[in-house]
Amino acid sequence: MMLNFVDKIGDWNPQLLRELKGRLKIFPVAIAFLISLLGQLVLFLYQLREFPADKYPIVGQYCNLSKSYIEQQNALSRQTNTLHTAISNLKKAKPSSTVSLVDLQTELKSVNARNQALSKYISENFCPNNQLDMQLWWRDHWEYLFLALSVIFIFTLLVAGTYLLINNLANEERRGTLNFIRLSPQSEVKILAGKLLGVPILLYLVTLVAVPLHLYAGRSANIALSYIFSFYAVLAASCIFFFSAALLFGLVCRWFNGFQPWLGSGSVLVFLIMTMVMASSSGGNFNNPTTWFRLFSPLNITNYLFPNLYHIYNGSPLKQLQFFYLPIGKNVTSIVGFHLLSYSLCTYGIWQALKRCFRNPNTAVISKLHSYFLVAGLQVMMWGFTLQYVKNYCPPSSVNQPSTCLYDVNSQIGQNFIWLAFCNLVLLLGLIAILSPHRQAVQDWARYKHQGVWKNSLLKDLIFGEKSIALIAMTINLAIVTTPLLIWIVVAPILNVYHSSNLLGLGNADVSCSKRFSAKALTTKFSINV
């Protein structure tokens, strides 16, 4: 039966069978299982080190008596601060009689003595065993274990998997076997899919062995199965996306030699660390054009599904995420669906580039036609995350009237104008490098263009031709980039609901409250005390 299964794999994808035969050997598989099991054991024991023992603090998180003692400490602390303030004020007043000051100082000494006695009692006494909330401790223990495994899955799969794929292609190129594989009658998709599934197979085994513990920990922490499987779906989609990008990087950037795998995996590692730091420090700001690029990190959706990951008590900022004012962050289905759609679209584009570059590594990664779709798609994404409903303008308030904060479209776009310009500049410069053909190719095109199929349509050749100069193509891409900006500039006076001189919202406008007119479709007000 096993032989039949192996034969079926070989019939379906010979490249996958080749990769599996080279890796699924007894010793490497045993090492993979051992590493996974030992890692799970170490992680479990590491979390178990905080098990409430006989000397658990009486003010500890899991002691039922901690609340009353903490309240006593806080009350004494507040009383001490109040007495210090009263004594300080009395000294500044320089009263003729010192009786009140002596009374306050005596009371302060009494409060300090009670505070010291309470602190001594807390330090010398421990929580009784019957007052330990072990059920809560075990729930938190399993949650910590679940979240730790989730983060380990992300970093291990994406960073190590990227390294293995790029290193495999570099070794194949160095040994000359990659050119032999290119001569195979199998399609590019099957060959590269075999590499994507087969090269990190031991990494997949390490992760799959840990999945049962991950599932059990999640259910023991009362995490819904729908959330857990949503995490698995996003993680799988992110692996396909990053691994596909790794294959493209390995095929295109061949001049790095032995440094190539480290550069690719290191870039993924830096990207994950940056998104983790931004999310854990302040929750992150997702009201700008770069939001879409940040969403490719599965750490953000992990924090959305499991809010205790970064201990952000007001919830993940993704809950307020909008796309062209559509609240996609309101529920799990929409936000997970958007992540999967983004991964799918980008993975599809990468595989189109892989099919172009696999047989002929010297060809451009994308064609001119594909560049138009790429630029247009990025404009939709960047402008979609720019146009989010955020109360971003608070005009000066009058003496008798509270300030009123409003949503201003021009201010929202103006605040993100620099990011839009920067991202588009990087995009256009990259396309110039990609679409510009080699000098010899341009010379051949200029010499023989009258003999080809395009002899009656030079403009069509300039727009879509592979070997023609890229001037017209870049002009079209520049027009696609500037069209949304021009539309905004034209409609800015209509959106200028405050009649301010600063129409584009690129600075602070002196807005008069009497000159506003109501436009419910464009403004919403809420009062705040000044």
Determine the average pLDDT of the residues in 183-190. 86
Residue 450's pLDDT is 53
Residue 517 has pLDDT above 50, yes or no: no
Residue 9's pLDDT is 79
Name which of 132-146, 445-459, 476-490 the model is least confident about.
Answer: 445-459
Residue 3's pLDDT is 54
Average predicted confidence (pLDDT) for the chain: 82
Cα(18)–Cα(60) distance, rounded to whole angstroms? 57
Residue 154 has pLDDT above 50, yes or no: yes
Residue 252's pLDDT is 87
Determine the average pLDDT of the residues in 264-268. 94
Residue 291 has pLDDT above 60, yes or no: yes
Question: 435 falls in which pLDDT band (50, 70, 90)?
Answer: confident
The percentage of residues in the chain with a pLDDT greater than 90, rounded to a whole number, is 38
Token representation of residue 517 = 């007119």
Residue 104 has pLDDT above 90, yes or no: no
Determine the average pLDDT of the residues in 119-123. 84
Determine the average pLDDT of the residues in 50-59. 80
Residue with tokens 């006076």: 493
Residue 63, classed as helix, strand or coil, is: strand
More confident residue, 214 or 279: 214
Residue 98, classed as helix, strand or coil, is: coil
Residue 348 has pLDDT above 80, yes or no: yes
CA 484 → CA 299, 384, 386, 425, distances in Å?
A: 31, 11, 12, 15
Token representation of residue 281 = 């420090």
pTM of the model: 0.83
Residue 409's pLDDT is 82
More confident residue, 293 or 253: 293
Residue 314's pLDDT is 64
More confident residue, 415 or 213: 213
Phi, psi for residue 303 in degrees, rounded to 5: -65, -30
Residue 289 has pLDDT above 60, yes or no: yes
Residue 498, classed as helix, strand or coil, is: coil
Residue pair 387/325 in contact (Cβ under 8 Å)? The answer is yes
The percentage of residues in the chain with a pLDDT greater than 70, rounded to a whole number, is 83
What is the H or E stretch that residue 527 is in?
strand 526-528
Residue 140 has pLDDT above 60, yes or no: yes
Residue pair 424/499 in contact (Cβ under 8 Å)? The answer is no
Residue 502 has pLDDT above 70, yes or no: no
Residue 455 has pLDDT above 70, yes or no: no
More confident residue, 111 or 396: 111
CA atoms within 13 A on the CB side of 363: 16
Question: 460 falls in which pLDDT band (50, 70, 90)?
Answer: confident
Residue 466's pLDDT is 77
Residue 477's pLDDT is 94
Answer left, alpha or beta for residue 379, where phi above 0 means left and psi between -120 and 50 means alpha.
alpha
For residue 447, give every residue at least 6 positions away whose Cβ sits within 8 Å of its Cβ, in sequence order, or none. none
Cα(22)–Cα(29) distance, rounded to whole angstroms? 11
More confident residue, 215 or 409: 215
Cα(408)–Cα(482) distance, rounded to whole angstroms? 22
Residue 510 has pLDDT above 50, yes or no: no
More confident residue, 467 or 288: 288
Within 219-297, strands assigned E span none
Residue 514 has pLDDT above 60, yes or no: no
DSSP state of 493: H
Nearest to 295 by CA among 341, 327, 243: 341
